[in-house]
Amino acid sequence: MPNIKSAKKRVLVNAKKTEQNKAIRSAVKTEMKKIDLLIKENKLEEAKQSLAVAFKAIDSACSKNIYHANNASNKKAKLAKRVDSAIKANAPVQEVVAEPVVEVAPVEEAPVKKTTRKPRAKKVETADAE
């Protein structure tokens, strides 16, 4: 235990901030678990709507420096990916209707015109003795 008054205060303030940070982290985890539960219960529309609430909690924690910006982005991306993959997996398979094949007449190519180039004039080297 510290002896100096300011050090004692720091211990108390740090303990208080630690509790606040734990509560915010816990709230983020709770929102993430709610989405996972909705996915398991196959309530995909509700899960998609609750993404906004979870994103808000994650962004709030990020702005308070509880999560690093990259960590927050990772969490949001993983949540969104889970919801999207669940929606895609649960979506009814749509039949692919084959479109009728339309035959297109071949396009005639224009004949290639040959161009003649003028021969280059050769440089004549003069032998100047300097």
Per-residue pLDDT tens for 41-98? 999 999 999 999 999 999 999 999 999 999 999 999 999 999 999 999 877 656 656 6
Q: Which residue has the tokens 């949001």?
A: 76
Q: Which residue has the tokens 């300011």?
A: 6
| Predicted TM-score of the model (pTM) | 0.65
- Which pLDDT band, with edges at 50, 70 and 90, does 11 fall under? very high
76, 53 Cβ separation under 8 angstroms: no
| Closest alpha carbon to 51 in 68, 71, 34 | 34
67, 111 Cβ separation under 8 angstroms: no
* Integer Cα distance of 72 and 79 in angstroms: 11
Element containing residue 41 per DSSP (H, E) = none
3-state DSSP call for residue 60? Answer: helix
State which amino acid sits at residue 98.
Answer: A
